[in-house]
């Protein structure tokens, strides 16, 4: 059976409110629906950096499976975190916090790590992808313009690569661009093909 035929026969659930992740799945030609529920995104501080977004992604996927009592459907959970040395940046809750994050990232290289958890019946597939991003210096007016215009409160690190900052202030990336957007599409595709092979 070809992948497109197989994936069309299975119900895919995206356990994320992110419009960017939904856009990426659509560009992958993967049919899906979105189901979400409130999830505790706290984590054990003993977790290593790369383990944090994987853990949160799994909590999102498990919460959706439990809340909606899903069986025989593929659930995809994902979470992105920005790391600047030892500083962990999730989503800012207000303009002040977004400003603080962007001021720290200004002129520096940082890491964007997206964790993914795919659930299918008893199968649990977990992985993460990391990309390095170099941001040009931002001045005070540029930071305030971006925050006022784009309201980046649902974005790890307080910015999105496909918006104004990505177009004007990102000079270099290493790794997956879609990972920086919020979903490492190449790894998701390979994981889904692996599920098909095991079916």
> Where in the sequence numbering do the catalytic residues fall?
79
Phi, psi of 124 (to 5 degrees): -130, 115
Nearest CA-CA partner of 110 in 101, 121, 119, 118: 101
Cross-strand pairs, 113: 81, 130
- Alpha-carbon distance of 78 to 126, in angstroms, equals 10
Closest CA to 86 of 136, 54, 55, 45: 45
d(CA 135, CA 101): 12
- Number of Cβ within 10 Å of residue 151's Cβ equals 11
Helix (H/G/I), strand (E/B), else coil: 10: coil
The H-or-E segment that residue 189 falls in is helix 185-198
The residues, ordered by sequence, that sit 6+ positions from 85 with a Cβ below 8 Å of its Cβ are none
């Amino acid at each position: 059976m070809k992948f497109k035929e197989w994936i069309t026969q299975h119900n895919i659930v995206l356990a994320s409110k992110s419009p960017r992740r939904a856009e990426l799945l659509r560009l992958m030609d993967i049919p899906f629906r979105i189901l979400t529920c409130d999830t505790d995104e706290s984590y054990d501080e003993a977790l290593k950096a790369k383990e944090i977004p994987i853990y949160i992604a799994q909590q999102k996927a498990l919460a959706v499976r439990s809340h909606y009592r899903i069986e025989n459907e593929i659930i995809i959970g994902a979470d992105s975190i920005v790391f600047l040395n030892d500083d962990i940046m999730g989503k800012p809750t207000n303009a002040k916090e977004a400003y603080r994050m962007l001021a720290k990232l200004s002129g520096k290289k940082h890491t964007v790590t997206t964790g993914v958890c795919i659930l299918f019946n008893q199968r649990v597939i977990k992985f993460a992808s990391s990309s390095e991003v170099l941001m040009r210096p931002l001045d005070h007016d540029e930071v305030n313009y971006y925050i006022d215009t784009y309201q980046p409160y649902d974005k790890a690190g307080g910015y999105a690569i496909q918006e104004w900052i990505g177009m004007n202030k990102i000079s270099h990336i290493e790794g997956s661009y879609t990972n920086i957007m919020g979903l490492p599409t190449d790894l998701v595709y390979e994981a889904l093909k692996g599920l098909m092979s095991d079916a």
